Amino acid sequence: EPEVTQTPSHQVTQMGQEVILRCVPISNHLYFYWYRQILGQKVEFLVSFYNNEISEKSEIFDDQFSVERPDGSNFTLKIRSTKLEDSAMYFCASTGYPSNQPQHFGDGTRLSIL
């Protein structure tokens, strides 16, 4: 069964550094998402992306965050200047058309900010 893959599985970064989290969504999917889960808290929506542009973003997704689909397969989340509170599990998800199909999640990247 096709999978969403995320790399790296664990990223350790110094506060203030830039970090890029990478995702390869399922190949025929059209809608892409990032979610995060801070330890002990809910999984929360960050951003959705369709047709090469952001379609929805949460309050968390401020100017420090950006997303990109640089080629036909990768979907990246960049955090420009990381803060301690950015430490979390980051999950990428994708779904096909129509967008109300279930979203399929990767196994996540654990981001640790020191």
Partner 1 sequence: DQQVKQNSPSLSVQEGRISILNCDYTNSMFDYFLWYKKYPAEGPTFLISISSIKDKNEDGRFTVFLNKSAKHLSLHIVPSQPGDSAVYFCAAFSGNTGKLIFGQGTTLQVKP
Q: In the complex, which residues of this chain contact partner 1 (CB under 8 A)? A: 4, 6, 31, 33, 35, 41-45, 48, 50, 55-56, 58, 91, 93, 99-100, 102-108
Output 14 or 52, the one with its CB closest to partner 1: 52
* CB 80, min distance to partner 1, A: 23
* CB 44, min distance to partner 1, A: 7
Please, which residues bridge with residue 19 across strands? 79
* CB 53, min distance to partner 1, A: 13
The CA distances from residue 72 to 7, 43, 45, in Å, are 17, 27, 23
Output 35 or 75, the one with its CB closest to partner 1: 35
Output 55 or 112, the one with its CB closest to partner 1: 55
Q: How many CA atoms lie within 13 A of 74 on its CB side?
A: 11
* CB 81, min distance to partner 1, A: 25
Tell me: cis bond preceding 25? Omega within 30 of 0 counts. no
Judged on CB neighbours under 10 Å (0-12, 13-18, 19+), 5 is middle
